[in-house]
Amino acid sequence: MSAARAIWKGHLALGEYRAPVKMYAAVEPRTVHFRLLHAEDLAPVEQHIVRKEDGREVPKDEQRKAFALSGDTAIILQPEDLQALEPEPSRDIELCRFVPRTLLGDQWYDRPYWLGPDEDEAAYFALAEALEGQETVGIARWVMRKKRYVGALDVLDGYLMMTTLRRADQVLSFSGIEPGKAATPEANELQLAQQLVATIEGDFEPQRWRDEHRDRLYALIEAKSRGEQIAPPARKRKPKPASLVEGLRASLTAAREQRLA
C-alpha cells in the first residue's frame, strides 16, 4: 500500500504555540464511475455547456455566474467580483477555544481529516497528549483551497483529527418537523421494545456493514463480462403486523433465532 499523500500543510496556532502539521484524508468515497455511451452505436459521449436558446456551445472564458432574483431579473457576477470575496490566504489553523464535547451533536460534524506531524514532532505530540482523555474539543478555523473552514480538533488513537463543522444555518432542529400525536406506550409494549434492544445489542463491527448495492453492482458487471445474465431477485413484501405488540414479538423472535444461528 502506497503512503498517504498530504492534501494540505500548515501550522496549528494557539497564541505563541505553533505546531507544523500535514492534513490527510480520513475517509474516501467508493463511488462506482460509469462512462456515458450513445445507445445507438455505443460511441462515447461528452457534456458541453450550450446556450439554451440555440444550442451553441459557450467556451469557459465566456461563461458568467448569475444570481436569479424575482421574475427575469438576475445579478451578474464577474470573475473579479468573486475573486475579491476569497479569504486571505493563510497557512495557520487558528485554535479559537476549547468547548465541552457534549455541546457538539452529530449533526454538526461534516468531514474528518487526519492531522500528522510535519518536522517538529515534539510540538505535535505535546498537543495530542494534552487532548488525550479530555472531555473538550478545540474549535478552529483555517483557509484551504480559497475557502474558510471551521472545524473541531480532537485526538484519536494518539493522533490529531480535524473534522469540519457545518454552519449554524445548515443545521436543522426537530422543531421544523411535523410532530406526531403524543402517545404513551403500554407497559408490555415498552418491555418488549427493551427486550428487543437488549437482544441485538453488541459491538460495532464496521466490516459487517458493506455497501450491498455496490457489491451487487460489481457482481453484475463481472457476470456480464463473462457473458452471463443475472435475473433480478423477486422482491418479497413483508406482511404488516396487526398490532405493535405483534410486530415487537415477531422481531424479538427473529432476533433471538439470528443470534443462535
pLDDT digits (tens, 9 = 90+) for 144-170: 999 999 999 999 999 999 999 999 999
Residues 151 and 115 in one domain: yes
Domain residues for the domain of 190 are 186-196+241-261
CA-based nearest residue to 17, from 116, 111, 130 = 130
Q: Report the half-sphere exposure of 142 (CA within 13 A, side-chain side).
A: 25
- In angstroms, what CA-CA distances link 30 with 211, 224, 227, 249? 9, 21, 26, 38
The residue ranking higher by pLDDT, 41 or 203, is: 41
Residue 150: the pLDDT is 98
Burial letters 36-71, b for 16+ CB under 10 A, else e:
eeeeeeeeeeeeeeeeeeeeeeeeeeeeeeeeeeee
Residue 183: the pLDDT is 74
Q: Cβ neighbours of residue 87 under 8 Å, at least 6 residues apart?
A: 143, 146, 147, 148
d(C-alpha 137, C-alpha 139), whole Å: 7
Residues 256 and 146 in one domain: no
**Contact (CB, 8 A) for 164 and 115:** no
Residues 190 and 135 in one domain: no
Amino acid occupying residue 9: K
Backbone angles phi, psi at 142, to 5 degrees: -160, 170
What share of the chain has pLDDT > 70, as a percent? 97
Residue 120: the pLDDT is 84
Residues 141 and 21 in one domain: yes
Question: Would you say residue 52 lies in a domain?
Answer: no
Question: Would you say residue 128 lies in a domain?
Answer: yes
Question: Would you say residue 117 lies in a domain?
Answer: yes
Residues 116 and 23 in one domain: yes
d(C-alpha 10, C-alpha 20), whole Å: 6
Residue 260 — very low, low, confident or very high, per pLDDT cuts 50/70/90? low
**Contact (CB, 8 A) for 152 and 112:** no
Cell of 98: 476549547
SS3 65: strand
CATH number at residue 130: 2.40.290.10
Residues 18 and 138 in one domain: yes
Question: Would you say residue 126 lies in a domain?
Answer: yes
Question: Would you say residue 18 lies in a domain?
Answer: yes
Residues 158 and 114 in one domain: yes
Question: Would you say residue 157 lies in a domain?
Answer: yes
Question: Would you say residue 68 lies in a domain?
Answer: no
Residue 189: the pLDDT is 83
Residues 135 and 99 in one domain: yes
d(C-alpha 217, C-alpha 203), whole Å: 29
Question: Phi-psi category of 145—alpha, beta or left, where left has phi over 0 and alpha has psi -120 to 50?
Answer: left
How many CB atoms within 10 Å of residue 189?
Answer: 16
Residues 192 and 245 in one domain: yes
Verdict on whether the full-model pTM lies above 0.85: no
Residues 20 and 111 in one domain: yes
pLDDT digits (tens, 9 = 90+) for 237-249: 777 776 777 777 8
pLDDT digits (tens, 9 = 90+) for 34-82: 999 999 999 999 999 999 999 999 999 999 999 999 878 999 999 999 9
Strands 147-156 and 74-77: unpaired
Residues 136 and 191 in one domain: no
Question: Would you say residue 23 lies in a domain?
Answer: yes
pLDDT digits (tens, 9 = 90+) for 95-150: 999 999 999 999 999 999 999 999 889 999 999 999 998 999 999 999 999 999 99
Domain count, the chain: 2
Question: Phi-psi category of 119—alpha, beta or left, where left has phi over 0 and alpha has psi -120 to 50?
Answer: left
Residue 182: the pLDDT is 67
Angle between helices 244-260 and 187-199 (to 10 degrees): 20
Residues 191 and 126 in one domain: no
